[in-house]
Amino acid sequence: MTTREAEARQYFAALTALPTEPWTLLASSLRAKLPPPVRAKLPTPGTVPIASAKRDLDALLDLPGPAGDAAVAIWIEVAVERLGRHADLVRARLSAARDPGRDPSLAAVAEGVERTKFEQRDDLVLAAWIDQARAAADAVAYVEVPRRFGAMDAGLTTGTAFLVGPDLLMTAYHVVEARDRPKEAAATAAEVADQLALSRFAFNYTATTSDPSPRPAGTFLTGADLVWSDPTLDVAVVKLRQPAPTTAAPVRFHTAGLPAVDGGFTFVANIIQHPAGEPKQLGLRNNAVWKVDDARLYYFTDTRGGSSGAPVFNDAWAVIAVHTGWEQIAAGANDAIYLGRRQAVVNRGTRASKIAAALPASVALTIA
């Protein structure tokens, strides 16, 4: 078995261990991201989604050469999006296979169980908080960006964005750049412009069940232009070429200071997002902020691939950061204990105060 096949099959095995994995959506997400010539080579979907997903993977692994490698890389990308933090365990198992001296168990690799630490904070909120959350959610959009290398198409990148002004959306820069795989060269300005011109946005991509409906049809806004970006902060602002829905109002920003936490978890990070290209979801549980520094906010709110660019709100529903990704917590970081477990990874976002200071005068935020 090749290294490529072993990696893909490890991710597939991890996906089958998730009891709530929506296999129908996984298969459709995979097919949507593959280039059309590759998609045409996949077998006809069957009536059992998990079996169809396995046949798709087998077919991709049979593709020869660089095209096959690229197709499997896309499959793994979708799997990582689905797995979220659980993907770290797969990476650890793969590392352990290369280094038999390492313990690949979840307890040793990802989280060490500690005595439960109860967080002493008042979680009561006013009933009006629900209405405020709904209004904030109306401003959040699903983003679909084609990956363009010159004139060549190479699948899609999905993300999240939110309204900050008249037809102005803010998101993570790496979403619009759409260069999210190892060893890919940075996109040129022309490629970013080309990708944005073909990008699609949906404000009303929602679902009422845990088994989401297919991606929205007939509700997309197509095309945008880059207004401002800062790759270091990993933030961008784009202007839609079509009007945003009248039901969506620009969000408010909190640019003042934030409480010091240092592992004390004194406030929370609420995230409205489109994880893994799925319908709009809210990260509201187990969402403590772990650390604050000058440029970034670190938090344990659940996200997945596709959540990048999402607004991170405080409990007053003002944006305190833009979600940009996650990182590993260094070994020995003894304050990374949350809900009784030592955390191996933490999510991060660029602070609203840092973004506001960098924006041009032409982008005027609403300050809470």
List pLDDT tens digits, range 289-328. Answer: 988 999 999 999 999 989 999 999 999 999 999 999 999 8
pLDDT tens digits along 329-362 = 877 655 677 766 777 889 999 999 999 999 999 9
- What three-state secondary structure class fits 37? helix
Question: Residue 78: CA atoms inside 13 Å, Cβ hemisphere, count?
Answer: 27
Tokens of 80: 């990582």
Name the range with the highest mean pLDDT among 8-12, 171-175, 300-304.
171-175
The alpha carbon of residue 301 and the mean position of all alpha carbons in its chain are separated, in whole angstroms, by: 12
Q: How many CB atoms are closer than 10 A to CB 331?
A: 8
Q: What is the percent of the chain with per-residue pLDDT over 90, rounded to a whole number?
A: 43
Q: Are 160 and 299 in contact (CB under 8 A)?
A: no
Give the pair of three-digit tokens for residue 144.
Answer: 């679909």
Pairing relationship of beta strands 140-149 and 200-202 according to DSSP bridges? antiparallel
CA 28/CA 190 separation, integer angstroms: 30
What pLDDT score does 86 carry? 57
Q: Which residue has the higher pLDDT, 188 or 261?
A: 188
What is the pLDDT, as a whole number, of residue 239? 98
Residue 306 or residue 121, greater confidence: 306
Write down the mean pLDDT value for the chain: 81
Q: Is the pLDDT higher at 159 or at 267? A: 159
Quick one: average pLDDT of 131-151? 93
Q: What is the pTM of this model?
A: 0.69
Quote the CA–CA distance of 122 and 356 in Å, as a whole number: 30
Spatial CA neighbour of 216 closest among 206, 228, 230:
206
Question: Where is average pLDDT lowest: 57-71, 181-195, 310-324?
Answer: 57-71
Residue where the block lists tokens 């020869």: 64
Highest mean pLDDT among 44-53, 262-271, 331-340, 348-357: 348-357
Residue 342 main-chain phi, psi, to 5 deg: -80, 125
Average pLDDT over residues 217-230: 90
Average pLDDT over residues 254-260: 88
Residue 213's pLDDT is 53
Which is higher by pLDDT, 351 or 54? 351
Residue 1 banded pLDDT, cuts 50, 70, 90: low
Angle at 222 between CA 220 and CA 225, to 5 degrees: 140
DSSP label at 288? B
In this prediction, residue 106 carries a pLDDT of: 36
Per-residue pLDDT at 180: 76
The yes-or-no verdict on residue 95 having pLDDT over 80 is no
Q: Work out the number of other CB atoms within 10 angstroms of the CB of residue 13.
A: 11
Mean pLDDT for 221-245 is: 97
- Convert 22-47 to b/e letters by CB count within 10 Å (16 or more is b): bbbbbbbbbebbbbeebeeebeebee
- pLDDT of 117 strictly over 50: no
* Better-scored residue on pLDDT, 108 or 149: 149
